[in-house]
């Protein structure tokens, strides 16, 4: 493992510690007493005091903080009040559906976005390219939940091709995937077009052409590979959108993932579950950025982290 990789992973550990601390600060110092929130409306003062004692909220902040970090490291995120199970086990059951949704969305965006971006760069004046680029502007202006609603109206309610909502086989993934992927697809296509256009003007492309390589070899081997760097960077920047999108879209389609659990937890005032899921979303975002940083060396041989 290179020094860069080790340094980058150490940075991740630092970031993780800081975000755990930030969550502690946000959840403990926000106005409103968590014990009151958890006890719910109509609880007596004695019940609130009991909860406050059980949660160590009557102890000094420093003691609470150390206990919070220690528990988090052990994987003890508290008990979910609505599921009456440990938060971690609730989250564990919700992660696979969400990962599946994120993977299909990202996959769709890349598989359709990269080729259409390349076509738009190579044949900028063709009707197909112009139409694709026009469509990306529209995709960037439609919120994912609105697209989801329209898909649901068309494909589930009117045409009855797909189930309107729920979790299960791959068929339940179709509409949520399209709804999340649309914006990402537009961004991937635009970024691909811009960076391929730029690279096609480079000297080494002329060299490759001069030594007689075919157009497609040049495009794939010499142009597309370095063009992946801005694309991957863009995907990293959109990681937050991807994760946030899963929350909205899972809720819309009643898809039993992490995001839907988070919204339920908020409405059930399930304090620890909200906190735990927030922690996992932030961790996911940090991980996406780690992978993006580490992937740069894959795409451009000139980048070597020593």
Residues engaged in binding other proteins (CB under 8 A): 15, 18-19, 22, 26-27, 30-32, 137-138, 140-143, 145-146, 149-150, 152-153, 157-158, 239-241, 243-245, 247-248, 251-252, 262-263, 266-267, 274, 278, 281-282, 285-286
Residue carrying structure tokens 């580490």: 294
Nearer to other proteins among residue 35 and residue 224 (C-beta) = 35
Nearer to other proteins among residue 111 and residue 140 (C-beta) = 140
**Residue 208, SS3 per DSSP:** helix
Provide, rounded to whole angstroms, the least separation between the CB of residue 22 and other proteins. 5
Which has the closest alpha carbon to 287: 1, 12, 7? 12
Provide, rounded to whole angstroms, the least separation between the CB of residue 206 and other proteins. 25
Q: What are phi and psi of 143, to 5 degrees?
A: -65, 145
DSSP letters for 50-99 = HHHHHTTTTS-HHHHHHHHHHHHHHT---EETTTTEEHHHHHHHHHHHHH
Nearer to other proteins among residue 28 and residue 59 (C-beta) = 28
Nearer to other proteins among residue 183 and residue 222 (C-beta) = 183
List, as own/partner pairs, every contact residues 122-131 make where C-beta atoms lie below 8 angstroms and the sequence separation is at least 24, other chains included: 122/196, 122/200, 122/219, 124/197
Q: How far apart are CA 127 and CA 25, in angstroms?
A: 54
Nearer to other proteins among residue 20 and residue 120 (C-beta) = 20
CA angle 85, 86, 92 (to 5 degrees): 100
Q: How far apart are CA 32 and CA 30, in angstroms?
A: 6
Beta-bridge partner residues of 130? none
Residues 6+ apart with CB under 8 A from 222: 199, 204, 205, 208, 213
Provide, rounded to whole angstroms, the least separation between the CB of residue 304 and other proteins. 26
Nearer to other proteins among residue 200 and residue 283 (C-beta) = 283
Provide, rounded to whole angstroms, the least separation between the CB of residue 79 and other proteins. 18
Provide, rounded to whole angstroms, the least separation between the CB of residue 152 and other proteins. 6
Provide, rounded to whole angstroms, the least separation between the CB of residue 281 and other proteins. 4
Nearer to other proteins among residue 167 and residue 238 (C-beta) = 238
Burial of 83 (0-12, 13-18, 19+ CB in 10 A): middle
Provide, rounded to whole angstroms, the least separation between the CB of residue 138 and other proteins. 8
């Amino acid at each position: 493992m290179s020094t860069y990789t080790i340094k980058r992973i150490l940075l991740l550990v630092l970031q993780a510690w800081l975000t755990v601390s930030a969550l502690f600060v946000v959840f403990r110092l926000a106005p409103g007493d968590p014990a009151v929130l958890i006890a719910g409306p109509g609880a007596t003062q004695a019940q609130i005091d009991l909860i406050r004692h059980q949660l160590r909220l009557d102890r000094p902040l420093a003691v609470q903080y150390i206990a919070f970090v220690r528990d988090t490291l052990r994987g003890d995120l508290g008990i979910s009040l609505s599921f009456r199970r440990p938060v971690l086990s609730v989250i564990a059951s919700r992660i696979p559906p969400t990962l599946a949704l994120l993977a299909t969305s990202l996959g769709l965006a890349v598989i359709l976005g990269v080729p259409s971006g390349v076509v738009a760069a190579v044949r900028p004046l063709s009707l197909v390219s112009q139409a694709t680029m026009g469509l990306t502007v529209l995709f960037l202006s439609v919120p994912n939940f609105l697209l989801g609603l329209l898909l649901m109206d068309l494909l589930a309610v009117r045409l009855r091709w797909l189930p309107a909502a729920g979790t299960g086989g791959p068929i339940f993934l179709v509409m949520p995937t399209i709804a999340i992927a649309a914006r990402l697809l537009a961004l991937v296509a635009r970024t691909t077009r811009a960076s391929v256009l730029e690279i096609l003007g480079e000297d080494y492309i002329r060299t490759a052409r001069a030594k007689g390589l075919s157009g497609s070899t040049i495009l794939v081997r010499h142009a597309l590979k370095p063009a992946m760097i801005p694309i991957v960077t863009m995907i990293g920047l959109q990681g937050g959108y991807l994760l946030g999108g899963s929350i909205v879209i899972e809720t819309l389609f009643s898809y039993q993932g992490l995001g839907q659990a988070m919204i339920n937890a908020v409405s059930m005032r399930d304090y620890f579950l909200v906190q735990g899921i927030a922690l996992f979303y932030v961790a996911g975002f940090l991980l996406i950025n780690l992978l993006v940083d580490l992937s740069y060396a894959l795409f451009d041989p000139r980048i070597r982290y020593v």
